[in-house]
Amino acid sequence: MEKKIPHRFAGSESGHPEDAPKGRAREGAHQGPRIYNLFPLLVGSVPDWGQRLPEIAAMKFNWVFLNPFHAPGFSGSLYAIKDYYQLHPLFQGDHQEPPEQLLKKFVRQAEKQGLGVMMDLVINHTAKDSPLVSQHPEWYLHGEDGSVRSPFVVDPDDPQNVTVWGDLAEIDYRQRPARKSLLAYWKKLVRHYTQLGFHGFRCDAAYKVPGDVWAELIETAQELNPKVHFFAETLGAPLHQIEQLHSAGFDYFFNSAKWWDFHADWLLEQYEQFRHIAPSIAFPESHDTERLAAEWGGEERRSRTWYLFAAFFSAGVMLPIGYEYGFQRKLHVVETRPEDWEEPLFDLASFVTAANAMKANTPVLNEEGPQRRFTSSGHPLVGLLRQSEHTGESAVGLINTDTEHSHDFGLDRLGEAMGVDIDAIQEITPLHQADSLAGHQRIRVAPYSMRIFHTPGKKKPKRSS
């Protein structure tokens, strides 16, 4: 099953697992999530996952996200789950330990590296050949002929183009007596993986499940561990389906920054609208999209610029395995195997490390405050200003979208945009010299690249009671 993600629509995909409980994400006092998506089919068995952890930690990520690792149905798709308590055969490998022990050991290994582990939670459908279909047919939607219904999507640009996922059975969340036992099953599942030590859940197609259901599942997990975080995947969802998640208690949403052209207004409008629901996570590519290196012919500067933009744009950032090496083969939820590991086109590990360190050390880049463009929409040099609502801190990203020519920007104009004297501005661009502004009146941004500037603010004084 390949998931189709219409772009330009998203909700607003937390910090380190030792951060404070849910709610801190909005207080600006923590580090946002820097997520490495360890796509399990490309790596192999669970012990093989563990071998990747040191290099992930070395790049200063603080989360590892695992796509579904459960036993799949007849299609073999990771997202067509047949048994939530058994491992995919590839992930079990030749190891005799039960799934619980293998997973618990991996989570402990990650913790020792300072990494929280997030798993995919897919509860809007199951595999069509899941035992649950015959054991609990009342949990599913049915067609007019009585057969279990498969989920589908209609292309908004062509209503005649309908994609049906025939390997899936769609769950029925309508209010009725059967929903109580259905919800009890999911609560038991969430308890199981929380007790194994998982620090977070990425909720697949969260908008297809009622917000009150998520609220109960989030409460169930946090009764066991108040620091468990929930991340809503809402890409492709219409506005009303996102808004119904407002009170569910999600810590983060994934946003649509990946599809921005750096000029249209829609992304900044979405950012402003959804940041009041929850902070968001940007990514330059995902397991559902084409590889950026493939889209742009392996151009290293594009991969650099897009990761830096994603790290700058919102509270969280995510990178899928292989991005740092310019992998070009699209990840596939059925067919990908460890043999598909590619020869690197380039190595961005040191750059990603520096970008993640920059993000971790700059509080304004770990919260969702006001953000606006201060350059004209048609100019190749795009200026974004991010501001903290808690500290008065601000950061500016200057993005040159011109692939052929450098563009200059006046340092005095930068000071005006940030509302400070130019002496207060510090460049924090990864792998850039800290004193690079000294003696200059203008900032030069190379073709298709990004530079980032920061000015510290002062914390607002606490009101006396």
Tell whether 398 and 314 lie within a shared domain.
no
Identify whether residues 302 and 431 lie together within a single domain.
no
Domain extent, residue 65, equals 24-127+174-368
288 within domain boundaries: yes
Q: Can you give the pLDDT at residue 244?
A: 85
Residues 174, 212: contact at Cβ < 8 Å?
Answer: no
- Among the candidates 340, 368, 396, a domain finishes at 368
Task: Tell me: pLDDT of 25 over 70.
Answer: no
Q: pTM (2 decimals)?
A: 0.92
Give the mean pLDDT of 58-84: 98
Say if residue 348 is in the same domain as residue 409. no
Mention every residue, 6+ apart, whose C-beta is less than 8 A from residue 102.
46, 47, 87, 91, 92, 95
Domain shared by 279 and 328, yes or no: yes
Q: Does one domain contain both 180 and 115?
A: yes
Are 59 and 197 within one domain? yes
Q: Are 217 and 315 part of one and the same domain?
A: yes
- Residue type (1 letter), 36: Y
Sign of the alpha-carbon dihedral angle for 207, 210, 211, 214: negative
| pLDDT given at position 256 | 95
The pLDDT of residue 356 is above 80: yes
Q: From residue 131, how far is each of 99, 128, 189 by CA, in Å?
A: 19, 9, 15
Of all helices (H) and strands (E), which one includes residue 218? helix 211-224
> Residue 459 pLDDT more than 70?
no
As for how many domains the chain has, the answer is: 2
Question: Can you say how many angstroms the Cα of residue 406 is from the centroid of all Cα atoms in its chain?
Answer: 31
CA angle 393, 395, 400 (to 5 degrees): 170
Q: Which residues of 86-112 are buried (b: 16+ CB within 10 A; e: fewer)?
A: bbbebbbeeeeeebeebbbbbbebbbe
In a domain, 398, yes or no: yes
Contact between 207 and 178 under an 8 Å Cβ cutoff? The reply is no
Q: Do the beta carbons of residue 12 and residue 271 sit within 8 Å? A: yes
Instruction: Identify whether 346 is part of a domain.
Output: yes
The whole-number average pLDDT for the span 306-331 is 98
State which of 348, 368, 388 marks the end of a domain.
Answer: 368
Average confidence (pLDDT) over 336-347: 98
Residue 148, in any domain of the structure: no
Q: Is the pLDDT of residue 413 over 60?
A: yes
* Burial 364-383, CB ≥16 within 10 A → b, else e: bbbbbbebebebeeeebbbb
Q: Look at residue 458 in the predicted model and tell me its pLDDT.
A: 62
Any idea what DSSP says for residue 405? -
**For position 380, which CATH number holds?**
2.60.40.1180
pLDDT at 155: 77
Mean pLDDT of the chain: 91
For residues 192 and 270, membership in a common domain is answered with yes
Share of the chain above pLDDT 90, in %: 81
The closest alpha carbon to 313, from 238, 390, 215, 395, belongs to: 395
pLDDT band of 438, cuts 50, 70, 90:
low
What is the C-alpha separation between 465 and 463, in angstroms, rounded? 6
Examine the pLDDT at 435 and tell me if it is beyond 90: no
SS3 230: strand
The CA distances from residue 326 to 256, 372, 405, in Å, are: 21, 31, 24
Looking at the structure, tell me whether residues 324 and 387 fall in a common domain.
Answer: no
DSSP 8-state code for residue 26? G
What pLDDT, on a 0 to 100 scale, did the predictor assign at position 81?
A: 98
In a domain, 250, yes or no: yes
pLDDT in tens, 257-298: 999 999 999 999 999 988 988 999 999 999 999 999 999 999
Assigned token pair, 126: 């199951």
- ∠ CA 166-172-175, nearest 5°, is 170
Question: Tokens 């498969």 label which residue?
Answer: 150
What residue type is assigned to position 413 of the chain? R
Q: What is the average per-residue pLDDT within 68-90? A: 98
Name the residue among 47, 29, 33, 2 with its Cα closest to residue 202.
33
What CATH number is attached to the domain comprising 322? 3.20.20.80
Amino acid of residue 180: K
Among 312, 335, 368, identify where a domain stops.
Answer: 368
- 104-152: pLDDT as tens digits: 999 999 999 999 999 999 999 999 999 999 999 999 999 999 999 999 8
